[in-house]
Amino acid sequence: MKGRLITLEGGEGAGKSTLLEGLCSYLRLHAIEPLLTREPGGTALGEGVRALVLDPALREMCAESELLLMFAARAQLVREKLRPALDAGQWVLCDRFTDASFAYQGGGRGQPPERIAELERWAADALQPDLTLLLDLPVGTGRQRAAGRGHAADRIEREADGFFERIRAAYLERAAQQPQRFCVLDARQTPDQVLAAAMRALQPLLEEGTT
């Protein structure tokens, strides 16, 4: 079977982790054991980067450092985990990928998209997902859900609503530009409804795998 890269994207509290669990069970029903990973993270180096970029004490981190750190983690994940898994025919479910950099560091922090695209070409080896599920949710709803989990806000979660509005707009713009790859899911629905819509979006890839 051909390896597939499925990425989950969305704003804070959109329900990516919840959907990831459901999709994993669904793929197992199809005898597919996916590799589950996340960004930033998924490797020892990436998890170290994650701790850095989310550390509320590092308030002075500039946008350029933040962007480069995201791609340092990504360069490692692509070479250490993603390419080998995909080359071996494995399916990969990844909680965030390069679209998050276009949305957060591009839309949110104002980094030029052509700079991010250049990093994508060499640092991320131009790796593109087969399918990106974008969980779209009003910013206020997502923030309420995230706050409901009861853990302290990280460095990025401490940003103002306007930052997250720009991120949402950047994600939706990217999805509109690449409709063949993106599936936008209405994340205001119940977890079961979101999962059902995601399963429908996966169907063509599952069918390709059996033909």
Task: Tell me how far, at minimum, the Cβ of 33 lies from ligand Z5A, in Å.
Answer: 21
Stretch that binds ligand Z5A, among 25-33, 56-64, 124-132, 141-149 (CB under 6 A): 141-149
Burial, 28: exposed, middle or buried (Cβ in 10 Å; 0-12, 13-18, 19+)?
exposed
Residue among 3 and 40 whose Cβ is closer to ligand Z5A: 40
Q: Helix (H, G, I), strand (E, B), or coil: what is residue 58? A: coil
Of 100, 124, 131, 184, the one binding ligand Z5A (CB under 6 A) is 100
The neighbouring-strand residues paired with 7 are: 94, 132
Q: Is 146 in the site for ligand Z5A (CB under 6 A)?
A: yes
H or E segment to which residue 21 belongs: helix 16-29
Q: Is 156 in the site for ligand Z5A (CB under 6 A)?
A: yes
One-letter amino acid identity for 25?
S
Residue among 154 and 209 whose Cβ is closer to ligand Z5A: 154
Give the contacts of 192 (CB within 8 A, at least 6 positions apart): none
Of 1, 2, 17, 186, the one binding ligand Z5A (CB under 6 A) is 17
Q: Is 145 in the site for ligand Z5A (CB under 6 A)?
A: yes
The neighbouring-strand residues paired with 25 are: none
Are 131 and 179 a contacting pair, CB within 8 Å?
Answer: no
Residues 54-73 that bind ligand Z5A (CB under 6 A): 70
Q: Is 163 in the site for ligand Z5A (CB under 6 A)?
A: no
Q: Helix (H, G, I), strand (E, B), or coil: what is residue 88? A: coil
Of 3, 15, 42, 129, the one binding ligand Z5A (CB under 6 A) is 15
Residue among 178 and 208 whose Cβ is closer to ligand Z5A: 178
